[in-house]
Amino acid sequence: MKISNHERQKFMRLIEDPATAVGIQIPDRIVWNGMEIRLRDEVWELTHEKNRKDRKKELLEILTSFIKVKIERIRTGDITMEEGENLAEECVGLKRAMEDLLNIKNESDMEEELKAREIEDQKRWLDLIRQVKH
């Protein structure tokens, strides 16, 4: 039995809800344009090897396109309830992968953040010294 518009909307709300990604595993593998991507491994590697901005950007673009295709299938495809559930679950797992990738800070970002903190600490010390002098 094919899904109704109400069921399609339910799947879309599920995908859009940020809380649904909590506890969801990133898919082990995806196939995009004939290329197999070990998604879970790649995300793990990128979160631990922070200087691979180019691969991170490429993977985010792939995931964005992949999710768009899946969402379009939910919105307009002639799918069953089971297919809709599977597509929605895949989208949530892909969103989780994207969130993990977007939260990666590369070393230069971390160095800038550290420098900014040091500068703020120095300013606070100078203010304290000025207050103690007076």
Spans of all domains in the chain: 5-103, 106-134
State how far the Cα of 107 lies from the Cα of 111, in Å rounded to an integer.
Answer: 6
Instruction: Tell me what pLDDT residue 1 has.
Output: 72
Instruction: Tell me what pLDDT residue 129 has.
Output: 75
**Positions in the chain whose pLDDT score sits under 50:** none
Instruction: Tell me what pLDDT residue 49 has.
Output: 73
Instruction: Tell me what pLDDT residue 23 has.
Output: 79
State how far the Cα of 55 lies from the Cα of 57, in Å rounded to an integer.
Answer: 5
Instruction: Tell me what pLDDT residue 105 has.
Output: 66
State how far the Cα of 18 lies from the Cα of 125, in Å rounded to an integer.
Answer: 41
Contact 30, 37 (CB under 8 A): yes
Give burial (CB, 10 Å; 0-12/13-18/19+) of 63. buried
